Each structure stands twice: as structure tokens, then as C-alpha cells.
Amino acid sequence: MKIHNFSAGPSILPQEVLKKASEAVIDFNNMGLSLLEISHRSKHFVDVMENARALALELLGLQGKGYQALFLQGGASMQFVMAAQNLLEKRAGYLNTGTWSTNAIKEAKIYGEIVEVASSKDAGFNYIPKGYSIPSNFDYFHCTSNNTIFGTQMHKFPKSPIPMVCDMSSDIFSRELDFSKFDLIYAGAQKNMGPAGTTLVVVKEDILGKVSRKMPAILNYQEHIAKESMYNTPPVYAVYTSMLTLEWLKNLGGIKAIEKVNEMKARVLYSEIDLNPLFKGYAAKDDRSMMNATFTLGNDKLKETFETMLKEAGISGLSGHRSVGGYRASMYNALPLDSVKALVEVMSELEAKA
């Protein structure tokens, strides 16, 4: 049976990427050796790292614009720390739109004063705040572009008078943006780019080196840039698989092409959520995420029937986060439209049975 994978992360990857990545575990580049057992300093893997970094910049439209791409470890949670350690001298402004921005704020407070310029906590983070101002005397402004748990997404970004830092873990490479508006972007790989184990960091070099504190070399962006993202042994499999996914995306036509597919998937699912009286969306309509649709089933008596139908249809990974409940359909780049249509068919059949 075909399994429709709506997992929020680690999440679905393109089948052709999984095939190539699995082959490399046995025999990489016809070397007679596994990708997992060659030196990360060998030309074979150095080429992988260089290609992955170059593809990231190319797809984001940032080549030749003073940015560096790094593949680091520790997940986006490590970037909550590194961003503040490398950029925060006195105070910074944070937009609080959910669990991950709350965690980022907590970590940044270790290094300086953090001001929440706006928050949607008052409504259970079901919307994106608007109309806030960003003080020009802060060191930087931090936001989270997409909120997996609550199903909200920033569809517009403020014009920031200071460097703008963005956690794009769950929607990077999914839609066209002017990425040059951002001075630092970070994203865990395990949503739209690869397996868990590496984090993409894209940073504009001229914002670095301005804090007075001493920091460990392994937490210093400039050290990682100087070592071409090879300061220590990188997560070779995660980087390689991310490179394959970026190649897959480029061959599809890049971000512009995948955005059209993502818009269609979101339109099909949200239409069913709005038209089917059994379901209700969680996020405010204007702020709904293309990547993570959150919704609830109004009648608890139908829960068992619905989940049996989902299982029979091969639909996996639909449970909502424990802090919200209900259901969450994650529609990352590699999820085909047919999977969304399969989910909608089950939802429609449930209405017919009720």
C-alpha cells in the first residue's frame, strides 16, 4: 500500500533522493566504499560540501551577494544560541509566534536584553502579529517564518532597520521571497531539505565580528566560514542527502516551480477544511501555513472512525502536536499533491457517513 506521509519532521523526502542516498551508503561514487566510511577531508566529500553550499545560495538567489552558506550541527535549537552569541551585544527584538520563537527568546536572554516586539500568545499563537515597530537601536530583529505546531506562517515580513534573523526551519525553499532582506537565515534540514542531523545557516558576512565577547570557536560563525563548513567532522550523510534534495529542487525548476505546487496542495486541503462542517481550522485564515495545516474534528464520537479510515487509506503522521491536539497535515516540498487529495477524499467520505 502507498503510504501518504504527512509527518511534521523528520519528514518526507523525494523518492529519487532516498534511492540515491541509500545507494551511497553501500557504494559512494563507485569507490567500493560507503559514504559513511570515507574521510570527510577526501576530495569526494569536499566536493559534496562545496556543491551543497553553492546550491543553497543559488536557489535562494544569494550567490555573489556577500553571503556564506554553512552546514552545521545541533539543529535549529543550537542556532537559538549561536545567533545571539554572534550578534547580541546589548539588546535585540524578537517576534514571538510560537514554541520555537519562545525557545529562541529564552536562550538569547543569556546574552543580553530581549524585547518581545509583539506576540500572539494571547490567542494560543493562532495568528501572526502585525503593525509592530522594530527599534533602530537594537542589535537585530528575530522572527520565525513558519510555525509547525500552530500552523501559522508569515506571509509578509517587516522592513527592518536592523539586521533581520529568521528561523526558516519548516518552510525554507518552499516559496519565493527576497532572501536578501535577511541577514541570517537558519533551518534544520529535516523538513524541506534532508534528514535530521544538519542545519543550514546562511549568513551575510558583514554582520559578523561586531560583538565584544569571547566565544568558543565551534560556536563562532566566522570560524566555520574560514574552515568552509568543515571546522569539525560534519554529518556527512545528512549533508549529502541535503545536496541531493537541493539538486532535485533545482531540476524541478527551483523555488518558483515548487511554490506553485505548494500553493495548490494548501488550496485543496484548506478548501475541504472550510467546506466540510465536521472540521475546523486552528490558525487564523490570513495567517495559515502552506506547510502545516492544523485542524480539529468537531465531533469526538467520529474520532475512532476517522482514524480507522485514515489508516486504511495509508495516511500517516497526521496527529496534531500535543500542545494543540487535533490534526496537523504537513505538506512539505516532497509531499505529492496526490497525497493531499487522498486525505481530502477521506475527510469527504467521513462527512458522507456522519
pLDDT tens, position by position, 255-295: 999 999 999 999 999 999 999 999 999 999 999 999 999 99
255-353 topology per CATH: Aspartate Aminotransferase, domain 1 (3.90.1150)
* Dihedral over alpha carbons 148, 149, 152, 154 (to 10 degrees): -50
Quickly state the pLDDT bin for 49 (edges 50, 70, 90).
Answer: very high
- pLDDT for res 44: 96
Q: Which DSSP state fits 65?
A: T
- pLDDT for res 290: 98
Which residue has 523538513 as its cell numbers? 191
91: helix, coil or strand?
A: strand
Residue 323 has pLDDT above 90, yes or no: no
Mean pLDDT of 180-188: 98
Mean pLDDT of 215-234: 97
216: helix, coil or strand?
A: coil
Of 168, 158, 181, which Cα lies nearest the Cα of 62? 181
- pLDDT for res 192: 95
pTM, 2 dp: 0.97
63: amino acid identity, one letter: Q
Mean pLDDT of 220-238: 98
Residue 230 has pLDDT above 80, yes or no: yes
Mean pLDDT of 170-194: 98
Of 172, 318, 180, 314, which Cα lies nearest the Cα of 245? 172
- pLDDT for res 29: 95
- pLDDT for res 242: 98
Of 260, 293, 259, 290, which Cα lies nearest the Cα of 276? 293
236: helix, coil or strand?
A: helix
Quickly state the pLDDT bin for 132 (edges 50, 70, 90).
Answer: very high
Lowest mean pLDDT among 109-118, 247-256, 321-330: 321-330
162: amino acid identity, one letter: I
CATH class for the region spanning 15-252: alpha beta
- pLDDT for res 2: 86
d(CA 146, CA 328) in angstroms, rounded, equals: 14
Mean model confidence pLDDT for the chain:
97
Mean pLDDT of 309-331: 95
82: helix, coil or strand?
A: helix
Quickly state the pLDDT bin for 161 (edges 50, 70, 90).
Answer: very high
Geometric angle at alpha carbon 33, from 28 and 36, rounded to 5°: 75
Residue boundaries of the structural domains of the chain: 15-252, 255-353
- pLDDT for res 98: 97
- pLDDT for res 248: 98
Quickly state the pLDDT bin for 354 (edges 50, 70, 90).
Answer: confident
Residue 26 has pLDDT above 80, yes or no: yes
d(CA 258, CA 248) in angstroms, rounded, equals: 11
| Percentage of residues in the chain having pLDDT higher than 70 | 100
Q: Which DSSP state fits 320?
A: P
d(CA 21, CA 330) in angstroms, rounded, equals: 23
**Widest pairwise Cα distance in the chain:** 65
Catalytic residue numbers read 100, 167, 191
Write out pLDDT tens, residues 70-114.
999 999 999 999 999 999 999 999 999 999 999 999 999 999 999
Quickly state the pLDDT bin for 195 (edges 50, 70, 90).
Answer: very high
Q: Which residue stretches of the chain are H helix? A: 15-26, 43-60, 75-87, 99-108, 221-226, 236-252, 254-275, 303-312, 337-353
Q: Which DSSP state fits 11?
A: -
Which residue has 491536539 as its cell numbers? 325
* Dihedral over alpha carbons 94, 287, 253, 205 (to 10 degrees): -10
Residue 1 has pLDDT above 90, yes or no: no
Name, in order, each residue with C-beta under 8 angstroms of 222's C-beta and a sequence gap of 6 or more. 208, 209
Residue 13 has pLDDT above 90, yes or no: yes
154: amino acid identity, one letter: M
Cell numbers at residue 12, please?
A: 518526507
- pLDDT for res 8: 96
